[in-house]
Amino acid sequence: MSQPLSERWRSGAALLISVVALVGIILWAPAEGPAGIRRLIFGEDRLRDPADVPAGGTHAFIDNQPGDPDDPVAWDPCDAIHYEINPDGAPDWMDDPADFVEEAVEIVEHYTGLEFEYDGTTDRRPEWDRVFVPSLGRREPVLISWATEDEVRQLEEDVAGIGGSVAVEVTPGGRKRYVTGGVTLDSDSFDQLDGVFGADDEEGRAIVLHELGHLVGLDHVDSSEELMFSENLGRTDFGTGDLNGLVALGQGDCF
């Protein structure tokens, strides 16, 4: 029997924060629409620059380009990552869930130099078992939402959140890029952060940052010095290795 979550917090044990890659079938999906045409005319132009960060620490990538473990699959830095928020199921202590998420997104945006664009709230629900089939000209914003383990089985046990993205090949057998993804936060875990540490917003933000790390392509590491450690031992910000990973993930190809 596992202890109730709040007991685990008090005993200094950890809250698991997990990665679930969306079921992405790797399909050929050429660069699409007006952005692709604009780039043909004006050339590549990334939207922002990654941050300067001190070297060090440890990081890992969820997926890498064919034949090169040091070359991660990433989002296109010349295109904004559109995202929507479904605030349904957010904890009562969170005054403005959209604001809360946006602040965390801005941190990831700052380090990666990837631009995120908030498309507003939505009624969409997370569907982690669905197979995503990309099609030309269709854009599916990243969905950031809350759910319970009854709806999203990947949140069972002590999992506080999941995050991941779908990669597609730009040419058959060629380089991959992320095109959509999601972050789903466990409603019960977020409810139970209230009052346990006295800093529920910092703990909650750490979970959101960790899952956003997965969304842009960071995998777990063995070091508890990093926020991408698979359990939260009280760290509330990215570690040096996390930051280096985020910077690397902001330097993908423009497609």
Taking the C-alpha atoms of residue 8 and residue 11, their distance in angstroms, rounded to an integer, is: 5
Q: Distance between CA atoms of 87 and 84, rounded to whole angstroms? A: 10
* Residues 162, 148: Cα–Cα separation, whole Å: 12
Residue with tokens 């926020």: 227
For the CB of residue 229, give the shortest distance to Zn ion in the complex, in Å: 8
Which residues 6+ apart lie within 8 Å of 197 measured at CB?
9, 203, 234
Among residues 19 and 179, whose Cβ is nearest to Zn ion? 19
Q: Select 17 or 208, whichever has its Cβ closest to Zn ion.
A: 17
**Residue 188: CB minimum distance to Zn ion, A:** 17
For the bound state, the minimum distance from the C-beta of residue 164 to Zn ion, rounded and expressed in Å, comes to 9
* The length of the chain, given as a count of residues: 255
Q: How far is the CB of 29 from Zn ion (least distance, A)?
A: 26
User: Between residues 18 and 165, which has the closer beta carbon with respect to Zn ion?
Assistant: 18
Least separation in angstroms between CB 180 and Zn ion: 19
List the structure tokens of 185.
Answer: 């936060």
Question: Residue 190 or 255: which CB sits closer to Zn ion?
Answer: 190
Amino acid at 82: H
Shorter beta-carbon distance to Zn ion: residue 18 or 154: 18
Geometric angle at alpha carbon 166, from 74 and 17, rounded to 5°: 85
Which residues of this chain interact with Zn ion, rule CB under 5 A?
17-19
CB of 36 to Zn ion, least distance (A): 33
CB 241 within 8 A of CB 225: yes
Nearer to Zn ion, 19 or 208 (CB): 19
Q: Between vectors from CA 215 to CA 64 and to CA 237, what angle results, nearest 5°?
A: 110
Q: Spell out the SS3 assignment of 93-120.
A: CCCCHHHHHHHHHHHHHHHHCCCEEEEE
